Amino acid sequence: MSRSYRSYAKLNLFLYVTGRRDDGYHTLCSLMAPITLHDELEFDFSLQEVRVICDHPLVPEDGANLAARAAKLFFEQVRGRIAGAERGEKSEGVGIRIRKRIPVGGGLGGGSSNAACVLNALNLAWNHVLSKEELYHLGLMLGADVPFFIDGVPVVATGIGEQFEPCPDLPHFHAVVCDPHIASSTVEVYKKYDFQLTKIKNYNIKRSLNICSEEQGADIQDYLHNDLFEPACGLYPGIRSVKEEMEQLLTQQVFMTGSGSSLFALFSDHNQAQYACDRLKDAFGNRAAFYLTALR
């Protein structure tokens, strides 16, 4: 028995670093939105062990893979909860084939999304043995972004990214996402962040929610920002170069998502987004990859 699921990427429409905890984790305030760009995960429930196969050469297929870790963590959590007779033909094993479309190391949350997809798929296969709160808990054990992908709806995330305020009225936008072929290290980018040199802007979560509402009539693009852009560019100068070239071609602002290196531009009109994507592909050739996607 096999079944396929889509594992969606995300954009950080704004990201403010607000502090650092004693355990080394940084706290933040970020508007996170899922986009239609996705990987495809196929599950084979006939296996007796956890096995991951991926079509991308940079994605590990051993225990270092976040999807494999999510599956093993799930089985550890449910072990003993369900009597053997109730398990039917299911074992504590699953085969996971990942068709990777989300750029690797680009700040789009591909690995975290894969992990959440695994948790959701296994929980569905095991008749919702875990509550939503338990799934969130397991997700947080795997990574700060994983809980967001359990539901995969627009939120303003605070804490280390695990505390959510829903943002249901986020206006619909099309997005052109750029993969500049630069693998950014999240750990190194956060290490590079300097609270003394970077001015932390004042923010208010409720106000952030209000600007996401179409009824407010605000242009969300006026609020796009990423505190991690400068430290990322300090480590990977090519990010800034690609951003500036994109802005010259599009005559509008371009932003970085997460800890980089992926960049994006938003458009309210699909035809404009398509034109922009085509123009960027022609101009950059093989120097970067571009994806036409949309906020979900």
Query: What is the overall mean pLDDT for the chain?
Result: 89
What are 171-197's pLDDT values in tens digits? 889 999 999 999 899 999 999 987 655
CA pair distance 37, 176, nearest whole angstrom:
10
Q: What is the reported pLDDT for 79?
A: 87
Phi, psi of 127 (to 5 degrees): 60, 45
pLDDT of amino acid 217: 47
Q: Are residues 141 and 187 in the same domain?
A: no
pLDDT tens per residue, range 212-262 = 554 444 567 778 999 999 999 999 999 999 999 999 999 999 999 999 999
Token readout for 169 is 């009225």
Q: Are residues 17 and 141 both part of a single domain? A: yes
Q: In the listed set 110, 144, 166, which residue is the last one of a domain according to the structure?
A: 166
Say what percent of the chain tops pLDDT 90. 71
Do 178 and 160 belong together in one domain? no
Domain with residue 202: its CATH number is: 3.30.70.890
Domain identity same for 226 and 85: no
**Are 136 and 190 members of one domain?**
no
Q: Are residues 256 and 178 in the same domain?
A: yes
Same domain, 147 and 184: no
> Cα(267)–Cα(255) distance, rounded to whole angstroms?
13
* Main-chain dihedrals φ then ψ at residue 55, nearest 5 degrees: -90, 5
CA neighbours closer than 13 Å in the CB half-sphere of residue 29: 16
By residue range, what is the domain housing residue 270?
174-294
* 92 and 31 belong to one structural domain: yes
Number of domains making up the chain: 2
Of 132, 166, 200, the one marking the end of a domain is: 166
* Residues 13 and 70 reside in one and the same domain: yes
Looking at the structure, tell me whether residues 287 and 263 fall in a common domain. Answer: yes
The residues carrying an active-site annotation are: 10, 145
Contact 78, 130 (CB under 8 A): yes
34 and 123 part of one domain: yes
Residue 103, class by beta-carbon neighbours within 10 Å (0-12 exposed, 13-18 middle, 19+ buried)?
buried
Residue 224 structure tokens:
């796009």
Please tell me whether residues 200 and 150 are part of one structural domain.
no
Helix axes 110-125, 66-78, angle to 10 degrees: 30
* Residue finishing a domain among 166, 201, 233: 166
Q: What is the DSSP string of the chain?
A: -EEEEEEEEEEEEEEEEEEE-TTSPEEEEEEEEEEEEEEEEEEETT-SSEEEEESSTTS--STTSHHHHHHHHHHHHHTTTS-HHHHTT--S-EEEEEE--SPTTSSS-HHHHHHHHHHHHHHHHTTS-S-HHHHHHHHHHH-TTHHHHHH---EEEETTTTEEEE-TTPPP-EEEEEE-S----HHHHHHH--TTTSPPPP--HHHHHHHT-GGGT--GGGG-EETTHHHHHHH-HHHHHHHHHHHHHHTS--EE-TTSS-EEEEESSHHHHHHHHHHHHHHHGGG-EEEEEEB-
Q: Which residue shows structure tokens 């909860």? A: 81
Least confident of 23-27, 97-101, 128-132: 23-27
